Amino acid sequence: MTTKPPAIKPRDRDTIISALRAGVVPRLGLQHIQVGRQREIEALIRDIRRVGDGGSSIRFVIGAYGAGKTFFLFLIRQIALQSKLAVCQADLAPERRIHATNGQARSLYAELARSLSTRTAPEGGALRNILESYIQKATERAGATGVPIETAVKDGLGDIREMVAGYDFATVVAAYARGYEDGNSVLQDAALRWLRGEYTTKTEARQDLGVRTILDDASFYDGLRLLAKFVRVAGFGGMIVCLDELVNLYKLQSAQARKQNYEQILRILNDVLQGTTEGIGFILGGTPEFLLDTRRGLYSYEALQSRLAENSFAVNGLADYSGPVINLPSLTPEELFHLLERLRDVFAGGDPEKHLVPDEALVAFMQHCLNTIGDAYFRTPRNTVKAFVDLLAVLEQNPDVAWSDLLTRMQVSEDRQGADEAEFHADADDGDDELATLRL
């Protein structure tokens, strides 16, 4: 007896199809296309619970290009939101790094702060809602105790004031509360700018808010700790920070820049392992080269290599999901078949009567991919999924066409991004790369 697939909302259906046809991960409806990797998901769920209980966590999610890292991160993000945690997410890029001196680290913090999401604001921009939720609770406390609202706001931030840059952080939150009570949108916007790390000069921040510091490159990690602490004070379980595309650190030409970024990662890792931070979890997505390369990757930094090394007993099929590194396994052919079934269900809106192709078409499609690109069709399935969704889209709009006729003309290409990275690595001259730019 087969289980009837759940009904799929039209919005989720359209979002999933549009995103997969573009080769990107949809933000909605991930549960409809999730297959495999159950133990990896369970390990991250334990991390989410630990953060919700006031602890901390860090995971390096490692997988080849096209293997589903970004999908995995988005899925964990969705689970964290449903667990009443706040989540912020950003991709690293040349202009967004963990450590920098020309604004790149501040830019990454600002992107994370803008992306801050909650269950009721899953698309980002939740910082304003979190602030107003905190102010409303402070107002209730003020009414119950008879103290002024501003006093109640400041009293709730006592622990934050003791943290690095915490005094000004608390001052800015109080300024937002003052603007909120007075209907002063200019003051509220200025406070939001500061909390999001959007001020570039201390002079401007002092003129607008009366504070002497800003969240700049040097305070990237401290700013995230402050944000996580405030999220907990506002009534949420904690905050998850998702950083993807860490391979961009691996690609930095300057050995000194790579080292400084890796030192920042080491600082975060040490704080988590030693239990000196609370209510915050980090999930970092990268490729095997980013982790394992002893010339340019995390393993080039000895302290990181010793902390991130695999458990020597986890061999011959044995697995250890308690360490900081989660290696995403490739999908098996059976799991890919199940994924194709789910994609077929998505197109049908969850109604088996509306399936565009029979089971034999799924088998024939997989065989065609195997003959075309070998086992890459299930090991790095991004292009395989895109091709199948394109096939179903054509069949949906041309119901008189036989799927077998289209299949013979279909082309599937192997995902080459990983190969391009290998070529980059082979060509890169790391002998004298501290000089990244020269300005006359």
- Per-residue pLDDT of 173-204, as tens digits, reads 999 999 999 999 999 999 999 999 999 999 99
pLDDT on residue 283: 98
Token code pair at residue 122: 């899953």
Using the predicted structure, report yes or no on whether residue 248 has a pLDDT greater than 50: yes
Using the predicted structure, report yes or no on whether residue 440 has a pLDDT greater than 60: no
Task: Name the nearest CA neighbour of 369 among 390, 344, 345.
Answer: 390
pLDDT on residue 310: 85
Q: Which of 130-139, 370-379, 380-389 has the lowest mean pLDDT?
A: 370-379
pLDDT on residue 371: 84
Token code pair at residue 341: 């079934």
- Stretch 107-116: mean pLDDT: 97
Question: Are 87 and 239 contacting, i.e. CB atoms less than 8 angstroms apart?
Answer: yes
Provide the CB-side half-sphere exposure for 17 (13 A, CA).
20
Q: What is the rounded CA–CA span in Å between residue 269 and residue 277?
A: 10
Q: Which of 49-63, 100-114, 310-324 has the lowest mean pLDDT?
A: 310-324
Token code pair at residue 231: 């999220």
- Cα-based distances in Å from 259 to 158, 294, 299, 301: 35, 12, 11, 7
Using the predicted structure, report yes or no on whether residue 163 has a pLDDT greater than 70: yes
pLDDT on residue 178: 93
> Which one of 62-76, 154-168, 235-249 scores highest in mean pLDDT?
235-249
pLDDT on residue 316: 72
Give residue 438's pLDDT band: very low, low, confident or very high (50, 70, 90).
very low
pLDDT on residue 36: 85
Using the predicted structure, report yes or no on whether residue 218 has a pLDDT greater than 60: yes
**Facing residues of 121 across strands?**
118
Query: Among all chains, which residue has been given the structure tokens 């939150």?
Result: 173
286: three-class secondary structure by DSSP: strand
**Using a CB cutoff of 8 Å and minimum separation of 24, what contacts does 49-54 make?**
49/83, 50/281, 51/85, 51/237, 51/238, 51/239, 51/240, 51/279, 51/280, 51/281, 52/83, 52/84, 52/85, 52/237, 52/238, 53/237, 54/232, 54/238, 54/278, 54/279
Using the predicted structure, report yes or no on whether residue 434 has a pLDDT greater than 50: no
Using the predicted structure, report yes or no on whether residue 414 has a pLDDT greater than 90: no
Residues of the chain above pLDDT 90, percent: 65
- Stretch 24-39: mean pLDDT: 87
Token code pair at residue 167: 């005094």
> pTM here?
0.88
Using the predicted structure, report yes or no on whether residue 418 has a pLDDT greater than 80: no
Token code pair at residue 140: 């209730």
- Stretch 372-398: mean pLDDT: 84
Q: What is the rounded CA–CA span in Å between residue 79 and residue 116?
A: 15
Using the predicted structure, report yes or no on whether residue 259 has a pLDDT greater than 90: yes
Which amino acid is it at 424? F
Q: Kindly report the backbone phi and psi dihedral angles of residue 152, in degrees, each rounded to the nearest multiple of 5, phi listed first.
A: -65, -40
- Stretch 144-158: mean pLDDT: 87
- Stretch 130-134: mean pLDDT: 95
Task: Name the nearest CA neighbour of 63 among 290, 403, 305.
Answer: 290
Q: What is the rounded CA–CA span in Å between residue 346 and residue 41?
A: 22
Query: Among all chains, which residue has been given the structure tokens 């065989």?
Result: 367
- Stretch 339-368: mean pLDDT: 91
- For residue 290, how many other CB atoms are within 10 A of its CB? 23
- Cα-based distances in Å from 124 to 81, 112, 114, 118, 308: 11, 9, 6, 8, 31
Token code pair at residue 262: 């890796």
Query: Among all chains, which residue has been given the structure tokens 């090991």?
Result: 379
pLDDT on residue 37: 86
pLDDT on residue 339: 92
pLDDT on residue 99: 96
- Stretch 205-229: mean pLDDT: 96
Using the predicted structure, report yes or no on whether residue 104 has a pLDDT greater than 90: yes
- Cα-based distances in Å from 143 to 152, 175, 263: 9, 20, 47
More confident residue, 145 or 203: 203
Q: Kindly report the backbone phi and psi dihedral angles of residue 121, in degrees, each rounded to the nearest multiple of 5, phi listed first.
A: -135, 70
Q: What is the rounded CA–CA span in Å between residue 20 and residue 379?
A: 17
Token code pair at residue 158: 């006592």
